[in-house]
Amino acid sequence: MKKYLLIGLLLLTSPLMLSAQRNDGAVIPGDFADPSIIKVKSTYFAVGTSSEWAPHFPIYRSADLKNWYQSGYVFDKAPDWTSGSFWAPEYYKIKNTYYIYYTARRKSDNASYIGVATSKYPDKEFKDHGVLIAFGKEAIDAFVFNDGGQLYITFKAYGLDKRPIELLASKLSADGLKLEGNIFSLLKDEQRLGMEGQSILKKDGYYYLFYSAGNCCGIQCSYNVQVARAKGFSGPYELYAGNPVLAENNKWKCMGHGTFVTGESGNYYYLHHAYNKESSVLTGRQALLSELVWPENSGWPRFKPQQVVGNKAPDIIDKFMAPAISKFWQWDFRHATPDISQQKGVLYLSGNVKPDNQTGVVLTSRPVSGSFVMNVTVLNYNEALKGLSFYGDVNAALGIGIQNNRVLVWQISEHNFSVLAEAPVLKEPAQLRLELTTGKRCKFYYQQGKKGWLPLLTADTLKVDALPQWDRSPRIGLHFKGDSSLNAQFANFSILMDH
């Protein structure tokens, strides 16, 4: 792990920004799957999957498609009809209203369906209108297309029964809030390779239907982008013999699920996700931008080798001086309801947890690198455990924290909370450190006063292979485990990325 210079680091008491260093192609580093993009005058907005993290559906904005910062969320609170799995949002604008068509699980039957929300603003104050599409056992991955003034909404269906996966469509009302007419088929997955995340362009009398084939997520992912075309919107669609048109390269794998936008020059760009081959599932599906070109005489489009690259996310330093917490913070809303406040350089963390939650409350940020150093100062002492955590899910987490007058390394696995190492500490502010090495192992340190960093768990270091979940990367951040009448008090939080 390199030595870090703290001079000039961005203080993240404002929305997350991107620094000026290259990032191997990601324009929005870290887990930002299924991105949808829209251009409003000279500004671009992108929204992505949040899965089980709240707030829901993070929104980023950019003036140049390269430099992005987070400006908001679609929902601060989950809509009443939903239980989780917030996937695949689709941006659209009708007149002066912004629309988000999104996938979520319905509480009543746990089926994934498509809802819709609207706002007068592109990145805040969205009002939910409930379920728009409840079709079969699954209706996900909405995409809206305007064909000469007639709106259509397309979606993936049949993902959870024995019939082939199918891309379906319906006319959409002029106000974007109702289906009209019959639902009809665009394309079936007769080869059973997978078919989802569709996006449509019209050029020279053809409708080009781009879609993702293969397995989207996790270590065994096989995503790639394929294309078919038709003379009419409803088909029949002809598959391109040269598929896939976008597949893995030497740095990225499992590319797919995106939407198109035009750049300043009028060229088409495809914002989509992919896994970095080096950090893989630890940093999740990151947002890339690929340019689409139309070679002469071929009739079929292709993607250029990746040329538009973003900037590395900066090292995070949060001094907790702003009136509200920074926008990058999220939490697992299914298992905990955090109580968070900050003032005068101190963040206060407490909250209530579900009965089966032995981990506690974790206030998290997305890792954007396969190695990092995370630090925080713990200011108070009580019976609660408080410190740092690397969190995959309620039964897949580890960390280092202070409890009473002890510092300890802990892990939860198979519903069991265990202490792996501990040492006594003085009742004065203590600095804690959690480090992830390039070998996917965690190291733990603590420090008080002018003494140097002391290692904990020196016999070995913990591997983090069990933390990533199928559809999302693990998160890193602040941890509290204890009675809700108590709290943790933190200062000087930082994540130093080894890019």
Give the Cα separation of 457 and 356 in Å (integer): 27
CB 100 within 8 A of CB 342: no
The answer to whether residue 4 scores a pLDDT higher than 70 is no
The answer to whether residue 367 scores a pLDDT higher than 70 is yes
- The CA distances from residue 418 to 228, 355, 411, 415, in Å, are 53, 18, 5, 10
Share of the chain above pLDDT 90, in %: 85
Give the Cα separation of 385 and 483 in Å (integer): 10
Instruction: Give residue limits of the domains in the chain.
Output: 26-303, 316-497
The answer to whether residue 458 scores a pLDDT higher than 50 is yes
Domains 26-303 and 316-497 are alike in CATH topology: no
Structure-model confidence comparison of residues 20 and 292, the more confident one = 292
pLDDT value, residue 15: 33
Structure-model confidence comparison of residues 9 and 325, the more confident one = 325
Read off the pLDDT of each residue in 358-362 and give the average, rounded to a whole number.
96
pLDDT value, residue 24: 65
Read off the pLDDT of each residue in 128-132 and give the average, rounded to a whole number.
98
pLDDT value, residue 25: 80
Q: What is the pLDDT of residues 209-236, one digit of tens each?
A: 999 999 999 999 999 999 999 999 999 9
Structure-model confidence comparison of residues 438 and 199, the more confident one = 199
pLDDT value, residue 459: 64
Q: How far is CA 416 from the centre of its chain?
A: 28
Give the Cα separation of 429 and 412 in Å (integer): 26
Q: Which CATH class is domain 26-303?
A: mainly beta
Confidence grade of residue 1 (pLDDT, cut at 50, 70, 90): very low
pLDDT value, residue 22: 39
- Fold type of domain 316-497: Jelly Rolls (2.60.120)
